[in-house]
């Protein structure tokens, strides 16, 4: 294996991140080179691992032991109980992973789940989530979050904000950028030559001609037509309640939605274990499993690694596109 490894961040060490990373390595070790960044003490007991000095050393030993770029943390990790003193280490590992990809030592970044409140409490973390932090680290003008599986790809235009704030946060510039970044990502990172983007309405029945909300009539429909005239294959706004059944999904490659749950409920219903979080608009490739830290099952050895496995596989495919 000559491909630069996938850099995997440890995420919240008291969650299931270290466990699913170790299980993913065991499943993929002969197929995908990877290197885990974190404190080796935080790996599940008995995990075969080898500390390496450089990410470039990882491919040679990937099938025998999980290569680890060791990173110091302030405290031990107690599964299920987050320690705020480790927040600084979690944040540093993400930045270290980004730097590895930027310098070409890793081909892509796959991030394990973080616990945002712990990071805010322990290190004054100033970002709503991974996406916004990666945007800042890479100085990207704007990044968008895509959830992807074989069944569906969705992109929420607004992400980690209260539902009551969505209508005011949703602007023509924001939606225009989201559609453009989505189309470019489908072309450049997924290899779809002529991507098709469907746009969901904000209101029930896409406003039903203004009877259930006016944003679609006021500007969303006109904006979609404007973008389509520029050469992007985009349609909508479509009623969200009829956008995700099998026949509808056959007509688009990704659905741009207006808010978090409008996008994530369909994909988690259709393909909960196989969904992968992809950040589009960055100068690097970044994927992540589509689940959280799962403190309630951490340390019990029962965490399902499927989403992490799919995230690493997708990162590898994207890096090879």
Quick one: 26 and 43 in the same domain?
A: yes
Quick one: 304 and 172 in the same domain?
A: no
Q: Domain range holding 36?
A: 1-140+282-321
pLDDT score, position 2: 45
For residues 98 and 83, give the distance between their C-alpha atoms in angstroms, rounded to a whole number.
Answer: 24
Quick one: 127 and 4 in the same domain?
A: yes
pLDDT tens digits in sequence order for the chain, 321 residues long = 347 999 999 999 999 999 999 999 999 999 999 999 999 999 999 999 999 999 988 988 888 999 999 999 999 999 999 899 999 999 999 999 999 999 999 999 999 999 999 999 999 999 988 989 999 999 999 999 999 999 999 999 998 889 999 999 999 999 999 999 999 999 999 999 999 999 999 999 999 999 999 999 999 999 999 999 999 999 999 999 999 999 999 999 999 999 999 999 999 999 888 999 999 999 999 999 989 999 999 999 999 999 999 999 999 999 988
Query: How many domains is the chain partitioned into structurally?
Result: 2
Tokens representing 204 are 């029930």
Tokens representing 312 are 């690493």
pLDDT score, position 272: 86
CB atoms within 10 A of CB 200: 27
Quick one: 72 and 147 in the same domain?
A: no
Q: What is the DSSP letter of 8?
A: E
Quick one: 294 and 212 in the same domain?
A: no
Quick one: 189 and 115 in the same domain?
A: no
Quick one: 292 and 268 in the same domain?
A: no
pLDDT score, position 1: 39
Quick one: 163 and 132 in the same domain?
A: no
For residues 28 and 43, give the distance between their C-alpha atoms in angstroms, rounded to a whole number.
Answer: 17
Quick one: 266 and 313 in the same domain?
A: no
For residues 184 and 257, give the distance between their C-alpha atoms in angstroms, rounded to a whole number.
Answer: 17
Quick one: 83 and 97 in the same domain?
A: yes
CA distances from 182 to 155, 177, 186, 253, 256 (A): 8, 8, 6, 10, 8
Buried b (16+ CB within 10 A) or exposed e, 72-109: ebeeebebbebbbebbbbbbbbbebbbebbeeebbbbb
Quick one: 223 and 121 in the same domain?
A: no
For residues 185 and 140, give the distance between their C-alpha atoms in angstroms, rounded to a whole number.
Answer: 14
Quick one: 186 and 286 in the same domain?
A: no
CATH of the domain at 269: 3.40.718.10
Q: Could you tell me if 208 and 170 are in contact, meaning their C-beta atoms sit under 8 angstroms apart? A: no
């Amino acid at each position: 294996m000559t491909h630069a490894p996938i850099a995997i961040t440890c995420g919240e060490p008291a969650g299931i991140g270290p466990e699913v990373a170790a299980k993913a390595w065991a499943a993929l070790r002969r197929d995908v080179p990877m290197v885990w960044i974190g404190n080796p003490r935080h790996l599940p007991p008995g995990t075969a691992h080898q500390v390496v000095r450089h990410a470039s050393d990882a491919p040679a030993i990937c099938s025998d032991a999980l290569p680890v770029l060791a990173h110091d943390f302030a405290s031990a990790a107690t599964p299920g109980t987050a320690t705020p003193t480790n927040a600084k280490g979690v944040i540093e590992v993400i930045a270290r992973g980004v730097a590895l990809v930027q310098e070409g030592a890793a081909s892509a970044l796959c991030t394990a789940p973080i616990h945002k409140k712990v990071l805010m409490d322990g290190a004054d973390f100033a970002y709503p989530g991974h996406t916004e932090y990666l945007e800042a680290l890479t100085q990207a003008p704007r990044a968008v979050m895509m959830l992807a599986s074989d069944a569906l790809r969705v992109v929420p235009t607004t992400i980690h904000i209260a539902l009551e704030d969505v209508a005011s946060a949703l602007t023509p510039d924001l939606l225009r950028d989201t559609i453009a970044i989505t189309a470019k990502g489908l072309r450049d990172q997924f290899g779809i030559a002529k991507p098709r983007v469907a746009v969901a309405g904000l209101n029930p029945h896409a406003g039903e001609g203004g009877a259930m909300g006016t944003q679609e009539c006021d500007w969303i429909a006109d904006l979609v037509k404007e973008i389509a005239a520029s050469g992007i294959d985009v349609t909508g706004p479509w009623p969200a309640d009829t956008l995700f059944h099998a026949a509808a999904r056959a007509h688009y490659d990704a659905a741009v939605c207006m808010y978090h749950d409008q996008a994530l409920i369909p994909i988690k219903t259709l393909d909960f274990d196989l969904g992968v979080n992809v950040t589009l608009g960055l100068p690097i490739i970044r994927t992540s499993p589509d689940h959280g830290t799962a403190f309630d099952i951490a340390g019990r050895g029962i965490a399902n690694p499927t989403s992490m496995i799919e995230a690493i596989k997708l990162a590898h495919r994207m890096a090879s596109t």
